[in-house]
Chains A and B, each alone.
Chain A
């Protein structure tokens, strides 16, 4: 896991559900190359996958990723190489899915009001400091519990479980 993310922000509202992040009709896809192309295609930013650069950042209001359990919603954002997702709060299954895939999902109260579409945002995961480099505004991320931080530091839960299973064998 990188300790710092920096990129252009794309900003969304409250209660952005997984149907907006990844419409149900594409859930049948199983390959990342296909899945990544539909990122946010049910939302007000339907062409995000075409303009998004690796390391860019998603900023949202409350309850980002509410709704379905579909891991595709997190996978598609992993596919476009999101640097971090900053939201005022997250839907719980999406949050678990994101962390499991090694995506830094950062909770930060008030963040949506501090960032406009296109602003450059910098996040330091070690200190939790968030800086809007375009406006100079700053914010502080809520600390993540150690267990989830452990998953992120392992690069996601798959490498972590793999490592645990191998250690068990020894």
Chain B
């Protein structure tokens, strides 16, 4: 069996499971974000009275934080009433940040857990050896009532990363390259495991970016086998309660692919699809209206570090704006301590509150018709960040920063001789 199968088997109270089988699993963390008050409505519509375990339920006020409309504020108000009524103490309010980043910052995400959140990027938690998957409101309500959710045990695709990452090339470039080759529906219903020697070069932050983006090839979940880098993260957060499952040597993968990263240059996904990927060089020189640094994909301290390195002592040219959104208050604090925020503000960037902000086109930096944005986020669908004809190019935080520096799409590598920003 694969580690994911062993994990699901244990959570379903079975000795073994196989791909394609439907299992009903205990859920360790049930996360609800503020977009989906429908979760509460569905809970009551199902006859729910008390949630299965208030300790395992977390509410995240991240997509609307802070509220831009009365309707959003009303949803928050109703959510607050729900948490009071149910005795749910884990409410991550508007000061906290994006759910996936907080799960890491608070040390909630850990190996061997079943983590279900009403957010498609819950695959992020594969970076910690957890089974993380996104669901809709009514699925989450099912968990609130029963403590369990059904899953079809997925086939697993292994992606081996070999070779040596070049300076100025990041996990985001690698995963965009992979999605460009495999396409947006390659991994639908499947689990995607990342493996291979390049992982030793990838920090927890970079691993989170990769696992996060596996959603964009349709994956149900993603997985990185916990190693010494994971252990260092667990130790830093004083986490001792976790379980690592081992994949049997005779496990047969649905597909076993290898990507040599040595020759991959910076990548961009061009409008209007995440799999519309080419070398950044193919788009070099395109004038940029907005640069966006943030989100559960590209809003961590390391991402701010590289942006600050590129923009230190420089100024963003007239006609281009840069919005910076730390993934969480922990990221914000760390970036303040290290001076990254100050550097970026001095360069002319605009700081907004930790949260999802403009990534999904709700508030804090929407695009007008035909405007071009280079973004460290995860989606460039029509209308994703404002006007349906707003044009989003997805890239690494370094590529976002060099676009801001020059007011046009620019290869970040010449600005990063000597490595990663620290």
**Once the chains bind, are B360 and A68 in contact (CB under 8 Å)?**
yes
Instruction: Identify the closest chain B residue to A159 (Cβ).
Output: B46
CB within 8 Å of A: which B83-125 residues: 118-120
Interface residues on A, range: 35 or more
Specify which of B72, B136, B275 lies most central, judged by the most chain A CB atoms within 10 Å of its CB. B136
**Once the chains bind, are B46 and A165 in contact (CB under 8 Å)?**
yes
Q: What is the 8 Å Cβ interface bit string for chain B, positions 214-229, against chain A (1 contact, 0 not)?
A: 0000101000000000
B interface SS class:
loop
**Once the chains bind, are B218 and A28 in contact (CB under 8 Å)?**
no
Q: What is the 8 Å Cβ interface bit string for chain A, positions 17-40, against chain B (1 contact, 0 not)?
A: 101100111011110000000000
Verify if B35 is at the interface (C-beta below 8 Å from A): yes
Verify if A132 is at the interface (C-beta below 8 Å from B): no
CB within 8 Å of A: which B369-422 residues: 379, 381-384, 388
Q: What is the 8 Å Cβ interface bit string for chain A, positions 59-74, against chain B (1 contact, 0 not)?
A: 0001100111111101
**Once the chains bind, are A19 and B382 in contact (CB under 8 Å)?**
yes
Q: What is the 8 Å Cβ interface bit string for chain B, positions 356-370, against chain A (1 contact, 0 not)?
A: 000011100000000
Specify which of A71, A74, A165 lies most central, judged by the most chain B CB atoms within 10 Å of its CB. A71
CB within 8 Å of A: which B209-266 residues: 218, 220
Verify if A8 is at the interface (C-beta below 8 Å from B): no
What residues of chain A lie closer than 8 Å to B120, measured between beta carbons? 67-69, 93
Q: Shortest Cβ distance from A154 into chain B, in angstroms? A: 12
Bound complex: CA of A69 vs CA of B388, how far in Å? 20
What residues of chain B lie closer than 8 Å to A68, measured between beta carbons? 120, 360
Given contacts A15-B185, A69-B120, A69-B136, contact A29 B71 (CB under 8 A): yes
Given contacts A42-B383, A145-B22, A161-B146, contact A97 B136 (CB under 8 A): yes
CB within 8 Å of B: which A83-127 residues: 89-93, 96-97, 100-101
Contact surface of A with B, Cβ cutoff 8 Å: 14-15, 17, 19-20, 23-25, 27-30, 42-43, 62-63, 66-72, 74-75, 89-93, 96-97, 100-101, 145, 147, 156-158, 161-162, 164-166
Bound complex: CA of A162 vs CA of B47, how far in Å? 6
Bound complex: CA of A23 vs CA of B362, how far in Å? 9
What residues of chain B lie closer than 8 Å to A14, measured between beta carbons? 185
Verify if B180 is at the interface (C-beta below 8 Å from A): no
**Once the chains bind, are A93 and B136 in contact (CB under 8 Å)?**
yes
Given contacts A24-B361, A75-B38, contact A161 B136 (CB under 8 A): no
Verify if B205 is at the interface (C-beta below 8 Å from A): no
**Once the chains bind, are B218 and A30 in contact (CB under 8 Å)?**
no
Verify if B348 is at the interface (C-beta below 8 Å from A): no
Bound complex: CA of A117 vs CA of B16, how far in Å? 47
What residues of chain B lie closer than 8 Å to A29, measured between beta carbons? 71
Known: A25-B362, A162-B46. 20 other contacts (CB 8 A): A15-B185, A19-B361, A20-B383, A24-B360, A24-B361, A24-B383, A42-B383, A63-B218, A67-B381, A68-B120, A68-B360, A69-B119, A72-B38, A74-B136, A89-B185, A92-B188, A92-B220, A93-B134, A158-B42, A165-B46
**Once the chains bind, are A15 and B136 in contact (CB under 8 Å)?**
no
Instruction: Identify the closest chain B residue to A75 (Cβ).
Output: B38
Bound complex: CA of A19 vs CA of B366, how far in Å? 14
**Once the chains bind, are B38 and A15 in contact (CB under 8 Å)?**
no
Given contacts A29-B71, A69-B120, A165-B145, contact A100 B185 (CB under 8 A): no
Please give me the 9 A-B residue pairs with the lowest Cβ-Cβ distance, nearest first.
Answer: A71-B136, A97-B136, A63-B185, A24-B360, A71-B137, A28-B71, A69-B120, A19-B381, A161-B46
What residues of chain A lie closer than 8 Å to B139, measured between beta carbons? 96-97, 100, 157
**Once the chains bind, are A63 and B188 in contact (CB under 8 Å)?**
yes
Verify if B203 is at the interface (C-beta below 8 Å from A): no
**Once the chains bind, are B46 and A23 in contact (CB under 8 Å)?**
no
Q: What is the 8 Å Cβ interface bit string for chain B, positions 252-296, against chain A (1 contact, 0 not)?
A: 000000000000000000000101000000000000000000000
Q: Shortest Cβ distance from B119 into chain A, in angstroms? A: 6
Q: Shortest Cβ distance from A120 into chain B, in angstroms? A: 28
CB within 8 Å of A: which B58-92 residues: 63-64, 69, 71-72, 75
Bound complex: CA of A88 vs CA of B79, how far in Å? 37
Verify if B135 is at the interface (C-beta below 8 Å from A): yes
**Once the chains bind, are A158 and B46 in contact (CB under 8 Å)?**
yes
Instruction: Identify the closest chain A residue to B383 (Cβ).
Output: A42
Bound complex: CA of A75 vs CA of B137, how far in Å? 11
What residues of chain A lie closer than 8 Å to B45, measured between beta carbons? 158, 162
Q: Shortest Cβ distance from A33 into chain B, in angstroms? A: 14
Verify if B176 is at the interface (C-beta below 8 Å from A): no
What residues of chain A lie closer than 8 Å to B136, measured between beta carbons? 69-71, 74, 93, 96-97, 100
Verify if B18 is at the interface (C-beta below 8 Å from A): no
**Once the chains bind, are B46 and A19 in contact (CB under 8 Å)?**
no
What residues of chain B lie closer than 8 Å to A20, measured between beta carbons? 381-383
Instruction: Identify the closest chain B residue to A70 (Cβ).
Output: B35
Q: Shortest Cβ distance from A11 into chain B, in angstroms? A: 17
Bound complex: CA of A43 vs CA of B381, how far in Å? 10
Q: Looking at the complex, which one of A67, A70, A157 makes contact with B379 (CB distance below 8 Å)?
A: A67
Q: Shortest Cβ distance from A133 into chain B, in angstroms? A: 29
